[in-house]
Chain A
């Protein structure tokens, strides 16, 4: 990922409140503040994914279930981007949070008969947030292989624990046929999932605005600092561990909401949500799109899921080979993901046209 940061680094050095802080005159501070505000402002191009999402609603009315899955995986990838792309935490167990969120809403229905979907999302966010906080508190002291193994082991242990109490979780057969109350008491679950597509997209939009605010805030700057150089952040007195735990908690809560949406749109859940495959898949999507750039999650999830949908119909073996090849090629030739590739091409073309 070393390459993807080159574009952030100059911004951080001339625009962050940190560098402007050293006894700077008011004007420099104001300039810095202005810079942060201007960077935070929404650009017209950012409406594009949402316009496409609305267009998809009218163009592919019979593919709305697939559309909901795309929205859910974008949200899941976005939660991973927050910790991997911005804070530099490498994890292979992010499915743990997705799974906890998924089971939260499922068990609320089965155990307590609580079928209102929107409050279910909040419950999932709170519960996975708490879990993420506790887990992060213990594990984020470690880095590298140790951290990868700890996160991986946690997800598998949750899966094993769920399997042990299959009387509650339904084991690998899962909990089928969950029914939820109509959204806002009006919109029913329909066969083509129209209402749920809009519901998932709306949830994604809210989460996205939240994540966007976080990464452009001073807190987000500090996370980038931690990713780039932990020692220096320690040296300037940044509370590194607390910041990492905070972002991990937020990321876990978002992944939990994605899991909860998954259960609600599919009306069933099985222990496979905790699979290593699920953790690996979301990471592949994010890398494919590009890490540390918000929209990487959108591009990666859409491209991955469409390819998967088409190619795995053709042959699952072929698809697995393809995804492997895609990963190898991405690492070797497009380390900043598809979006990075597009940026490179744009930069190259504009240079050609100017000269």
Chain B
């Protein structure tokens, strides 16, 4: 295979894996923000919490990697409900600014707590043998872990798409995102729906955090560093849109990877430049309502 084609395939492959991580972690944020207009800057902290739970489960308790991921997603999802009921719900009607401050405060506290217990050094996680090394797809080899990430991503997209578009509860969520008051007046319990979505979104974030350990490394500042990326995905995709989040994750993930491959010095410049361009043209994102 010629050199440039080889690089192009690598970019697409790595970009796709990165996009899947972005999608899994951001989709919950997008739907909660679309549903309640709640700016949740502690979303990254839930992802980080999931990552550290996976570290503890695999390193200290000897649980295998895959079950640890599932346990982390379920536990963090359940714990997030406590936060939602105790703190978040008090600010549903507050301004953006107050929501930003409350949740960034929670994120700071989470970073400090995890630094205290786990230290600032990045953690790694033991992988099962079939996720290490490369996988041969006939024309060339790819890193197994990224291939795994892409498969997980596609599975989740399929499940979420089915849940959103084909089930009763998905229809309720779409209705509530479109017009909350109308949905309430036809008898949908938006409050309970939101708690459910919030738990699901935080659980997915935790899953993304667990998956990210091998891909990006995990230290306590994860909660803020990657939060900015999740927010970019949500803003570019449009609030509350599954399709938009996926498209934004793909565009940002692939362009960011391409930028880092081709112009190593410019580093993170591209992802921000694209965001600014998209938002200047479409202020509500790809599929957001203007």
Contacts and interface: CB of A to CB of B under 8 A. Distances in A.
Interface string B107-125: 1111111011000000000
Interface in B83-125: 87, 90-91, 94-98, 100-102, 104-113, 115-116
Contacts, number: 120
B275 interface: yes
B69 interface: no
A156 interface: yes
Nearest to B116: A317
Contacts of B116: 317, 321
A117 to B, nearest CB: 33
A161 interface: yes
B156 to A, nearest CB: 24
Contacts of B272: 153, 156-157, 160
B102 A149 contact: no
Interface stretch (B4-12, B71-79, B168-176, B263-271): B263-271
B269 A328 contact: no
Contacts of A280: 104
Given A146-B279, A324-B108, A331 B101 contact: yes
A158 B269 CA distance: 9
Interface in B223-240: 224, 228, 231-232, 234-235, 239
A164 to B, nearest CB: 6
A331 B98 contact: yes
B113 A287 contact: no
A119 interface: no
A142 interface: yes
A144 interface: yes
Interface string A135-151: 00010011011101110
Given A157-B273, A287-B101, A142 B279 contact: yes
Contact of A142 (B91, B115, B224, B283): B283
Given A150-B279, A153-B272, A2 B95 contact: yes
A148 B100 CA distance: 10
Nearest to B99: A331
Contacts of A157: 269, 272-273, 276
Interface string A5-47: 0000000000000000000000000000000000000000000
Given A144-B96, A146-B284, A331-B102, A317 B266 contact: no
A153 B232 contact: yes
A328 B96 contact: no
Question: Which 10 A/B pairs are nearest by Cβ-Cβ distance?
Answer: A327-B105, A324-B108, A321-B112, A324-B109, A320-B112, A328-B105, A153-B272, A160-B269, A149-B235, A331-B102
Contact of A154 (B110, B113, B276): B276
Contacts of B269: 157, 160-161, 164
B101 A327 contact: yes
A326 B104 CA distance: 11
B280 interface: yes
Interface in B202-251: 224, 228, 231-232, 234-235, 239
A171 to B, nearest CB: 11
B24 interface: no
B31 interface: no
Given A144-B96, A160-B268, A276-B224, 7 more contacts: A1-B97, A148-B39, A156-B268, A276-B228, A287-B101, A321-B112, A328-B87
A256 interface: no
B276 A323 contact: no
A101 B234 CA distance: 31
B284 A163 contact: no
B95 A164 contact: no
A335 interface: yes
Contacts of B97: 1, 84, 90, 287
B199 interface: no
B17 interface: no
A144 B234 CA distance: 13
B120 to A, nearest CB: 9
B53 interface: no
A324 B107 contact: yes
Contacts of A164: 265-267, 269
A99 to B, nearest CB: 15
Contacts of A145: 33, 39, 96, 231, 234-235, 239
Interface string A309-341: 000000001101101111110111001000000
A236 B284 CA distance: 27
A97 B263 CA distance: 27
A90 B232 contact: no
Contacts of B106: 324, 328
Interface in A263-299: 276, 280, 283-284, 287
Nearest to B273: A157
Nearest to A142: B283
